[in-house]
Amino acid sequence: MNLLTLYIVKEVLKGSFLALILLLTLFNLFTFSDELKDMGTGDYGLKEIFLYLLLTSPRVFYELVPSAALLGSLFVLGTMANHSEIVAMRSAGLPVMGIIRSVMLAGVVLVIVSISVGELIAPQTERSARLLKTSSQHNKVIMHTRYGIWLREGNQFVNIRKVQGNSQLSNISIYQLNSQKKLTEIIHAETGKFINNEQWRLTDIKRTQITDNQVLPIHEEEKIWKTSIAPDLLKIIVIKPDNLSLVDLAQYINFLNKNNQKSQVFEAAFWGRLINPLITFVMLMVATPFVIGIKRGISMGGRLMAGIIIGMGFNILDKISNHMGLVYDLNPIIVALLPGSLVFIVACYAVSKTK
């Protein structure tokens, strides 16, 4: 790696990470403003809000890397162009493709960091953030495990294996303890449906009453369960693509297909996650001819505004493509590749016209 290549790589990385910090700060400020509306609900206070922001930052970081690469490279290369550094480099024998190659080397570093954060850190912290917010707002002790969700309400311990929508449950077990922490009753219900405030209708119930002298089994067709466990508290158990790594997404898609369940949303998320690192290279490819092919008198504000418009336009195109793919049941691989491919073709055409 020669000195010019190393210089470009370092400068693009510095600009991209600076843009990433600024974008992450901006997004967290918007999120902070939204979370303030929920402050005071249960134990959800300022401390919990800041911890929530900290835990959701890795996912936001991962999603912002392509945009930060675009803005950072536009800023750095634009500064070089305005200071005639690009002209000097080309006069010294560095071709346009040499500049692009140097920018792409910086992209390799960004992609490695992005994948590390997005696959190893973000899924765990995102689940922790949801758990923190939900448990704080409802004053409940909650544990989400492979055996469903566990909740504690006073001397009751509740295990819910499956949530079918926010207001319907199945395979519910309730363990009742007395003041001496001794088990006095076990209730198992096949299904549960939310009726109204603090009331669930349990059906197909098997009760077991436990005393010092005997264990008495009782069967009931239906029972009203009074509890402060509300449907929104159970959202924590619903699996979301943001909470899963690529490996987890692949395993969950396989599980859904084996059980003849719809997996389009998760397949779209899988291929989108797989393609996302490549979008960083596409954004860097867009920035290079945009800077080199435009006169150096263009202000930095103008370049950054162009970058913001390009980034926003790409995000809109990507979201439209994803929604159309889900609505019309299109191939998720094609849907994931289409926006990036179109932008890449335009960028390659711009490079070919750069002299």
Of 6-20, 159-173, 188-202, where does the model show the most confidence? 6-20
Determine if the pTM surpasses 0.85.
no
Torsion of CA 202, 207, 210, 213, to 10 degrees: 150
Q: Are 308 and 74 in contact (CB under 8 A)?
A: no
pLDDT band, residue 62 (cuts 50/70/90): very high
Q: What is the pLDDT of residues 313-350, one digit of tens each?
A: 887 888 888 888 888 888 999 998 999 898 888 888 87
Q: Are 306 and 70 in contact (CB under 8 A)?
A: no
Q: Which spans in 197-263 are helix H?
A: 246-258
Q: What is the pLDDT of residues 15-28, one digit of tens each?
A: 999 999 999 999 99
Query: What is the reported pLDDT for 271?
Result: 92
Of 110-124, 151-165, 238-252, where does the model show the most confidence? 110-124
Tallying the residues shown for the chain, one arrives at 355
Residue 186 pairs with which residues in a beta bridge?
175, 208
- List, in order, residues 6 or more apart from 124 with CB less than 8 Å away: none
Query: What is the reported pLDDT for 232?
Result: 66
Q: For the chain, how far is it from start to end, CA to CA, in angstroms? A: 24
CA 56: distance to chain centroid? Answer: 8
Q: What is the pLDDT of residues 226-280, one digit of tens each?
A: 887 777 666 655 667 767 788 888 887 887 787 677 788 889 889 988 898 889 9
Query: What is the reported pLDDT for 237?
Result: 57
Nearest-5° angle of CA 314, CA 318, CA 319? 120
Query: What is the reported pLDDT for 297?
Result: 54
Q: Are 274 and 246 in contact (CB under 8 A)?
A: yes
Between CA 179 and CA 155 the distance in angstroms is 8
Between CA 241 and CA 273 the distance in angstroms is 9
- List, in order, residues 6 or more apart from 225 with CB less than 8 Å away: 174, 189, 192, 199, 200, 201, 202
pLDDT band, residue 81 (cuts 50/70/90): confident
E strand or H helix at 35:
helix 3-35
Query: What is the reported pLDDT for 38?
Result: 87
- Average model confidence (pLDDT) across the chain: 84
Angle, in degrees to the nearest 10, between helices 46-82 and 3-35: 150
Q: What is the pLDDT of residues 286-300, one digit of tens each?
A: 887 767 655 555 566
E strand or H helix at 150:
strand 148-153
E strand or H helix at 170:
strand 168-177
Name the residue with higher pLDDT: 217 or 292. 217
Give the number of other CB atoms < 10 A from CB of residue 51. Answer: 15
Between CA 11 and CA 105 the distance in angstroms is 12
Q: What is the pLDDT of residues 139-150, one digit of tens each?
A: 655 555 555 677
Average pLDDT over residues 27-39: 93
pLDDT score of 193 more than 80: yes
Name the residue with higher pLDDT: 254 or 121. 121
Burial of 154 (0-12, 13-18, 19+ CB in 10 A): exposed
Q: Are 214 and 184 in contact (CB under 8 A)?
A: no
- List, in order, residues 6 or more apart from 213 with CB less than 8 Å away: none
Angle, in degrees to the nearest 10, between helices 122-138 and 46-82: 140
Burial of 319 (0-12, 13-18, 19+ CB in 10 A): exposed
Burial of 340 (0-12, 13-18, 19+ CB in 10 A): buried
Between CA 293 and CA 217 the distance in angstroms is 81
Between CA 91 and CA 71 the distance in angstroms is 26
Between CA 239 and CA 246 the distance in angstroms is 14
Both tokens assigned to 137: 């707002």
Q: Are 106 and 284 in contact (CB under 8 A)?
A: yes
Query: What is the reported pLDDT for 103?
Result: 92
Percentage of residues in the chain having pLDDT higher than 70:
87
